[in-house]
Structure 1
Amino acid sequence: MRSIFHHFVAAATFAVASLTPALAAELPVVRKAPEINITTIDGKQVTAADLKGKVVVVDFWATWCGPCVAEIPGYVALQKKYGKDGLVIVGVSVDRGSIDKVKKFVAKNGMNYAITMGEDGVLAEAFGGFDAIPTTFLIDRQGNIRHQKTGSMEHEEYEALVKQLL
């Protein structure tokens, strides 16, 4: 029985390893990203000039969205691991109502990346709009959207995409 388990683990590891390069295959340019000029929930300004030459992940999410919340530890890990290499993660909360609720959620979850409120829909419309969250955009150093995903994605899959652009 232990032998079967070890073979299963080896096969699963191989399958994931072989999938990662396929995900990181050359990412086409989807379209030019809109300029991002935001005020974070802690009052800091993040401008298009600040993001120039950076790889940027823009994640539209909400505190009440289970798949969104499940992705947060992965974004925290990516920011910690690749922030020094030019990765910037921007979380856009679409929660309605009190910013204090979002601030408490961010603190409780150790979110180490820029968070802004997007309940007015202006930033979502600038990105072309979407029907569901989480919706995430990956922007290259030249300001092009290279990946767009509605729905959750495993941390390892997203890391492979991010690493390709760093």
Structure 2
Amino acid sequence: MSQDKEAGSPRISLLRLALWGAALVGAAGVLYIIAQSSITPRAKGGLDDLTRGEMSRLILPAEAMPAPVNSFQDAAGDPVRIGDFRGKVVVVNLWATWCAPCIIEMPTLARLAEARKDRDVVVLAVSIDREKDGEKARAFIAKNAPLEFYWDPKASLPFALKPPTAAMPTTLIYGRDGVERARMLGEADWGGRDALAVIDRLLEEE
């Protein structure tokens, strides 16, 4: 009997050591998770609760998609990309002079740009007018300060989006990280409190 106990003692000791080892590993894992949670930023909040009023038709993408790399022109004719504004909340409005809803909503985009001009917000009204209507589009934007003139005469930007769009106007909102966070097909009031709430939510994100 004593021999059995003596023979079993090393096994019991090894078992205890294994259990203690597992407990220590588990405790270390818990401490690691706690430490990481205090260091790692909290996940970004969604916009679901802000899809109301003027923003009730806001489309929130199921998959995070970066801005297309296609370039368009600034007022000086130099190439520019949406990604050039990374670090800011970017509102991209695709419009044309032949699009009546685009003309109607443009002053609201100007109000948005004015209301958040001292914040990290950029409003890019990108005309997809053809070459012959370029000056007409430029003159129209000049009446909607502080918006600046941007032009995509080849209309490549709408089809470079994922998914592409054929709706005019289409407005896309990108977070500071350059990822599309929301999209609106059709006219909306971008100077109202519903739209400003969406922009301000994204401004709060780091």
* TM-score class normalised by the smaller sequence: 0.7 to 0.9
Pick which of 152-161 and 35-44 moved more.
35-44
Bigger Cα Rg:
2
The Cα shift of 1:23 comes to: 2.6
| SS of the residue 2:109 aligns to | helix
Report if the CA contact (8 A) 2:67-2:161 is conserved. Answer: yes
Q: Is 2:88 aligned against 1:23?
A: no
**Which of 104, 118, 125 is residue 70 of structure 1 equivalent to?**
104
Residue 134 (structure 1) aligns with: 169
TM-score normalised per structure 2: 0.61
1:95 Cα deviation (Å)?
Answer: 1.6
Q: Select 1:152's aligned residue among 164, 183, 187.
A: 187
**Residues of 2 paired with 1:49 and 1:145: CA distance?**
11
Listed as ranges, the matches of 1:27-106 within 5 Å are: 30-35=64-69, 37-43=71-77, 45-47=79-81, 50-96=84-130, 97-106=132-141
5+ long unaligned stretches in structure 1: 1-20
TM (norm. structure 1) is 0.74
* Range that drifts further, 47-56 or 144-153: 47-56
| Secondary structure at the counterpart of residue 32 of structure 1 | coil
What is the CA deviation profile of residues 35-74 of structure 1, one whole-angstrom value per residue up to 9, with x for unaligned ones?
3643213335544564020100010111222211121111
**1:148 CA displacement:** 0.9
Question: In the aligned structure 2, how far is the partner of 1:36 from the partner of 1:49?
Answer: 10
Corresponding residue number in structure 2 for 1:122: 156
Q: Judge conservation of contact 2:72–2:152 (CA < 8 Å) in 1.
A: no
Amino acid at match of 1:100: E
RMSD of the alignment, in Å? Answer: 2.5
Q: Name the SS of the counterpart of 2:125 in structure 1.
A: strand
Partner of 2:200 in structure 1? 163
AA at the equivalent of 1:124 = P
Matched length: 144
Q: Indicate how the Cα distance of structure 1 residues 22 and 105 shifts in structure 2: closer, same or farther if over 3 A, else same.
A: closer
Q: Distance in 1 between matches of 2:81 and 2:153?
A: 19
Higher RCO structure (Cα 8 Å, ≥6 apart)? 1
Q: Secondary structure at the match of 1:31?
A: coil
Contact 2:141 2:148 in 1 (8 A): no
* Runs of 4 or more above 6 Å deviation: none
